[in-house]
A and B are shown apart, each in its own frame.
Chain A
C-alpha cells in the first residue's frame, strides 16, 4: 500500500498519518449535504406518517401542493403563497439590484473616509438581528397601512438583499480598472454612457449573480414575512413555517423538494457565471 506513504502536506506528513483527517472531513461533508436531501424520498411517500424508506410511493403530496384549493386554519392555499413569493422575489431583484449596484459604484469611487463611515451602515441589515428588523418594520408599516401588502414585503426583502448585492458588485468593481471609464470620458462620453458601454459589460456577470442571490434571499426569507405578510399575501416560507409549528404535513416535504431544486439550480448558475468571469481575467 505505497499510496499510504504519499506526502500530503508541506511538512512531509504521510497519508497514513493523515487518514483520520480525510475520514473525518468526508464524514462532515456527508453530514452537511445528505440530511437536507432526506426530504426528497419522503415527498414521494404515500403514507401520511413519515416513514423512511417509504413503503409505498405516490405523488399525492405534490398533488396536494399544486391542486388543493382550500384555506386551512387561517393560512392560505399553497399555490397562492407561492405566487406571492415569486412576485415579491422578482420585484426584490428590481429594487435591490439597482440600488445596491449604484451604492457599490459610489462607494468604490468615493474617498476612503466616506466609505469607512458608510460601509458599516450599508451592511447593517445583515448585522442587526432580523427579528428586530422584522418587528421594527411591522410597527413602521402599520402606520402606513403596508402590512400584508406586496409593497411592504418587497421593501423588507430588498432591505436584506441589498447588502449581498452591494458586497458582490463592490468586489467586482474593486478588481475593475476605473481608468477605462476615464478614457471613455476623455473621448467625449458622458459619465452614464461610459458606465453603460464600458463598465457595465465587464461587470454584468456579477450583477446577474447578485440579482439571482437577491431573488433567492427574498424567496427564502421567513422572519420579516412572518410579521409583514398577512391576509391574502402570505409567502410560501411563511405558510410552511406556520404549518410546521402546528403539525408535520408531508406536503411540506414536496415543497421542500421543489425549493431544493430551485436553490441548487440557481447556485449552479451562479457558480458557472463565476467561472466564466474568472476565466476572462
Chain B
C-alpha cells in the first residue's frame, strides 16, 4: 500500500467501479453498433471495393473513368444537381415565410398549423407521389380545371418531366426544411426585436438586421437536409419524371436491375456518398449534429 492509497482508501475501488460502469454503458450500445457495422459499414465497404474492380476482374479505375468521360453520366450528375438545387431553393422560398408565420403565432395556433406540416410528413411518400400524378397528368384535375375556367385551351404537360418532378419533390421535402427552421425561429428571443424597434428600427429593418441573421442556423440546417436528401432521391423522380429525369439514384438502380453492372453502380454510389459526406461534414461544422438529427 502506498501513501496515496492510505489517504484515499477507496480510490482504487471507485476507479474500478467507474470503469465497470463505462463498460456497461458501452456494452448497451453494442447491439446497435453491430447492426450498423454488419448492415452498413461492411456492405458499403464491399461496394467501395467493387467500384475499383474492372470488367476483367482486376483492380482498375475504369468505373470512375467512365463517369468522367461518358456524356450520359455527366448529364446524370448535372440533372441530379440541378433538381436538388432547384428543389432546395424553392423549399426555402416557400418554407421560410411559413415557418416565420408559424413562429409569430401563439403556441396553440402554431401547433394547429404544425399538424398541416406533419400530416404530409407522415403520409407515405408513395401516396403523395401518386396523388401528384393524379393531379398533374394530361387529363388530371389541374388541367381539367384550368380548361373549364378557360385559362388554357390545350392541356399542359405538367408531369413526366422536370416540372412534375420538382412539384412532387418540393412537396415531399418541405417539412424537412420547416421543422428545424421553425424550431430555431421559436427559440429566438422576441425581446431582441422589441429592442431593435425601440431604438428606432422600422419593422422591415428589425427583421433583416435582427431576426433573419438569428434564424440562419435553422435555415442552413434545413437547406442542407433537403439538399442531401434530394441528391439520393429515387421514388418521386422515377414516377413523376416518367423516365425523362434521370437522377443518380435511378442510374444506380438501373445499373443493377438491368445491366447487373455492380462496378458502375458502386462507383456512382461512392461518388454520391462522398458528396453527401462532404456536405454533412460542412454542416456538422456549422450546426451541431443534434440539430440535424432532430427532425
Interface residues, chain A, with chain B CB atoms under 8 Å away: 8-13, 17, 21-22, 24-25, 28-29, 31-33, 35-39, 42, 49-52, 99-100, 102-103, 105-107, 109-111, 114, 118-133, 135-140, 155-156, 158-159, 162-163, 166-167, 171, 191, 216, 219-220, 222-223, 226-227, 237, 240-241, 244-245, 248, 252-253, 256, 259-260, 263-264, 266-267, 271
Contact = CB atoms under 8 A, between A and B. Distances in A.
A256 B129 CA distance: 10
A36 B121 CA distance: 11
Contact of B235 (A12, A24, A216, A223): A223
Contacts of B256: 135, 138, 227
Interface in B251-295: 252-253, 256, 262, 265-266, 269, 272-273, 276, 280, 284, 289-290, 292-294
Interface string B160-186: 000000000001001100000000000
Contacts of B24: 106, 191
Contacts of B238: 241, 245
16 contacts: A9-B203, A10-B190, A11-B203, A28-B97, A52-B140, A110-B22, A118-B33, A121-B36, A138-B256, A222-B125, A240-B126, A241-B235, A244-B133, A245-B238, A248-B133, A264-B123
Contacts of A171: 294
A139 B249 contact: no
Most chain A CB within a 10 A radius of its CB, from B26, B115, B119: B119
B32 A263 contact: no
Interface of B: 21-22, 24-29, 31-33, 35-36, 39-40, 42-44, 46-47, 50, 94, 97-98, 100-102, 104, 113, 115-120, 122-135, 137, 139-141, 144, 171, 174-175, 190-191, 193-194, 196-197, 201, 203, 206-207, 228, 231-232, 234-235, 238-239, 249, 252-253, 256, 262, 265-266, 269, 272-273, 276, 280, 284, 289-290, 292-294
A137 B122 CA distance: 25
Interface of B is mostly: helix
B273 A132 contact: yes
Interface of A is mostly: helix
Contact of B141 (A38, A109, A253): A38
Q: Which 3 A-B pairs have the closest CB atoms?
A: A129-B232, A136-B43, A106-B28
A227 to B, nearest CB: 8
A128 B126 contact: no
A39 B46 contact: no
A35 B201 CA distance: 41
B181 to A, nearest CB: 13
B32 A120 contact: no
Contacts of B201: 11
A33 to B, nearest CB: 5
A132 B252 contact: yes
A127 B276 contact: yes
